[in-house]
Chain A
Amino acid sequence: MIYHPHLRISSAWAFLAPALLLIAVFFFLPIFAALLLSFTDFDIYALGDLDRLRFIGFSNYLQLLQSPLFWTALGNTFYFVIVGGPLSVAVSLGAALLVNAPLTRFPGFFRAAFFLPVVTTLVAVAVVWRYLYHPRYGLLNYLLSLAGVDPIDWLGDPDWAMPAIILMAVWKNFGFNMIIFIAGLQNIPTQLYEAARIDGAGAWRQFRYITLPLLGPTFLFVALMTMIGYFQVFAEPYVMTQGGPANRTLSVVLLMYEEGFRWWNMGYASAVAFVLFALILAGTLLQLKLRQREPS
């Protein structure tokens, strides 16, 4: 039988068509529509009557860049990403090392226990954490009082609200990355450690020269996914503080949600979404670049 490359390609298209069509209709089309929306002032007036819609070019983007609220939200989001991201990765790695250590008993139990917060509903978690954070009756302040620390108004004090949210988010999410790290750790051949031990390397040097370099790809994946996820932080402040106190926990996605679905400024909200997209893209490219420059 004669081999026809174009036949193969056309039948591949035929098989791919349903999936591609779905992606086009439910993914690319809405993105394109949102991009168009971001150049209009689509609001409830326009929703009622399209004659009241204006194409306003880049005005939404300009207005966004001039809005102190957007910069506040961006600052808060960066705070969350820069403090929460590395913290989350470090905690996950620490937990993975502990769970994976040969001396640990019942690793399966700890793996499940640490993973539990990931699969728990955020709203339920938030209710419990709000009790933990309660300035007067909360467990956290009680423990601090035993150490002689004055009570902290975790969710009400503008300076403490973001750390409180980060703490909860890290606790809620570290289990997921931990599992990925454990998988990465188990892929490292044990001979390497044995060889290192024979050469007289201690625990720290084994970690530094074997574990860390060989976890490189896992690290990159975890760091990227965490960064992307943390840039999109929404549910934690939405349930815990609604962006307060004094907008100190307002994130970019929360701002987008408020503008879009609370005030129905779809044009402006779409512009927020695209600015966030650009930021995440830039962050991802930057991380990939940094990785490539590192000597392997």
Chain B
Amino acid sequence: MSRLSLLLFVTLWLIGCGSAVDRPVVVEFWAMGQEGEQVKALLPGFERRYPDIRVRVQQIPWSAAHEKLLTAYAGDAMPDLFQLGNTWIPEFVALRAVAPLDERLKTWPDAALADYFPGILATNRLDNQTWALPWYVDTRLFFYRTDLLAEVGFNEPPATWDDWLQAMARLKTLSGAERYAILLPINEWQLPVILALQHGADLLRDRNQYGHFQDPRFREAFTFYLSLFDEGLAPPVSHSQMTNIYQEFANGAFAVYVSGPWNIGEFGRRLPVAMQGKWITAALPGASLAGGASLALSRTSPRQEAAWKLLEYLAQPEQQARFYQLTGDLPARQSAWSAPVLASNRYAQAFRQQLQQVQPTPPIPEWERIANRIAYYAELAVRQEMSVDEALTALDRDVDQILEKRRWLLEQGLTP
């Protein structure tokens, strides 16, 4: 063997060894919609801190996210770290798809966990175990036209439902073309459920085994919801009929809208310039939904250590504040709210107030289906195709049927 080829051989051998030692761990991370796009900007900082870890982000559209995660689970192709809506957590826990986090969280100072909005963190805990950590938060509250409210005598946001009703009744009498006070898309379950939670309804009964919608508290909330349409305060239209809510809001076709944080950005971008400064957000008189998205580790991932490091990094208040700056998603950690970008956003303050008062929906995998049934019967009742009694009886019947499997599992002593 010539000396040259020996040299070549040794060099190659060294290179081979080197790459086996230094080859970085690649963490597969799935995030949805614009979060999946924007989170990439946070990753160089992470990869500098952990040179032996590389992150591969896959962006999934929200509309396909749930299906894609379930299919990935069925096909044993789960990512190491993934974003999920916090109402999906019970489902992925039932699937045994997510890794428990309490053991890892022991290394965290108590203050760090206490920094999360308690109502939001609660949605990530199930059966005395933490399964995911909140990434950003979401809840529903009022967006309204300050100029129109001032015109009917409310310079400050109304504080109670009675005041809101009074304001809305007066808004309805303002002159102009066809005018409504509030927009509540009739194919949404959120407001009926929020009102029910505010009335103290428990939605389900007996360890979440049966529907509890004929309960007087739910009925009262449901009737109140319907009265907003009966009195002509809200138009009986669905989302798809409102192709451009921003234009309608600017026209004054309605002055109040119940929506979530993404609309802070949308209102800023899509309302005409003349309309800026004439709208604001306000907390609901009472509790709202504890929504948002969380980050979870796959139970079967061989790279859990590295994925956990990434999760911890994204949970840091500085990264949360930066993420808000990139996406407009509201941080799950309260200390991130004192960052100047967020503290100076006047539209976000009502959210901070509302987030102190949020309630979770029943933590069971069937919840999304149940919510869908609530929206369906609420729509029929708004359209007056069903009476309140008929709607709630049918809702209880449907929900009892949806929960049949859950009852069977509990009967068998299996964990749902």
Contacts and interface: CB of A to CB of B under 8 A. Distances in A.
A45 B416 contact: yes
A47 B240 contact: no
A263 B369 contact: yes
Given A262-B67, A264-B70, A48 B383 contact: no
A100 to B, nearest CB: 40
Taking each of B67, B401, B405, which has the highest tally of chain A beta carbons within 10 Å of its own beta carbon? B405
Interface stretch (A2-10, A209-217, A243-251): A243-251
Given A47-B74, A51-B414, A264-B70, A247 B241 contact: no
Given A43-B405, A48-B96, A244 B383 contact: no
A153 B416 contact: no
A244 B95 contact: no
Contacts of A49: 96
A135 interface: yes
B408 A261 contact: no
Nearest to A51: B414
B380 A156 contact: no
A261 B243 contact: no
B91 interface: yes
Contacts of B414: 51-52
A158 B405 contact: no
Contact of A44 (B91, B238, B240, B379): B91
B369 A156 contact: no
B243 A47 contact: no
A246 B95 contact: no
Contacts of A111: none
A269 B368 CA distance: 17
A41 B405 contact: yes
A263 B187 CA distance: 18
Chain A interface main SS type: loop
Contacts of B97: 48
Interface size class of B (residues with CB under 8 A): 20 to 34
B240 A156 contact: yes
B70 A44 contact: yes
Given A44-B365, A52-B414, A244-B187, A156 B237 contact: yes
A49 B240 CA distance: 39
Nearest to A153: B241
A164 to B, nearest CB: 12
Contact of B67 (A130, A135, A261): A261
A246 B385 contact: yes
B94 interface: yes
Contact of B73 (A47, A241, A242, A244): A47
A241 B369 CA distance: 19
Interface string B58-69: 000000001100
A49 B95 CA distance: 7
Contacts of B66: 262
Interface in A13-64: 41, 43-45, 47-49, 51-52, 54, 63
Contact of B238 (A41, A47, A245): A245
B391 to A, nearest CB: 12
Interface in B315-341: none
Interface string A114-158: 000000000000000010001101000000000000000101101
B94 A45 contact: yes
B247 to A, nearest CB: 9
Contacts of A247: 376
Q: Which residue of A135, A241, A245 has the most chain B CB atoms within 10 A of its CB atom?
A: A245
B17 interface: no
A155 B239 CA distance: 11
A263 B367 CA distance: 10
Interface in B139-163: none
B241 A246 contact: no
Contacts of A242: 240
Nearest to A138: B243
Interface in B150-187: 187
9 contacts: A44-B365, A45-B94, A48-B94, A52-B414, A155-B241, A156-B241, A242-B240, A245-B238, A246-B380
Interface of A: 41, 43-45, 47-49, 51-52, 54, 63, 130, 134-135, 137, 153, 155-156, 158, 241-242, 244-247, 261-264
Of all A-B residue pairs in the complex, the 3 with the closest CB atoms, nearest first, are A156-B241, A48-B95, A48-B96
